[in-house]
Amino acid sequence: SPFADETALLNHLDKLHVSRVFVDLSGPVAKRLPHEKLLHAAMESADNHWTLDFEQPITRRPGETGTLLVYKRTSPESAGPKQ
């Protein structure tokens, strides 16, 4: 991942004025890539600036189901994860 940690990722989203983030949790946990894990962790850690807007069940292939999470920005800047 080009981001060292959650704070760097959240700062990048702020810089780009991103207002929604989609996190795809439909694949097996063991196969999730580091940047996918980092994005999910960043969204969960910044709940004072990002909120889970909705969850959508999804199926990639028969027997491979999961959830799509959609986060919405609730304040202008994340300023990193909550302490």
The predicted structure's pLDDT at residue 12: 95
Q: Which helix (H) or strand (E) segment is 37 a member of? A: helix 34-45
Look-up of token digits 């304040």? 75
Give tens-digit pLDDT for 1-44: 689 999 999 999 999 999 999 999 988 888 889 999 999 999 99
Quote the CA–CA distance of 38 and 5 in Å, as a whole number.
7
Q: Using the 8-state DSSP alphabet, how is residue 13 labeled? A: H
Beta strand segments in the chain, E: 20-24, 50-61, 64-73
Which pLDDT value is given to residue 28? Answer: 81
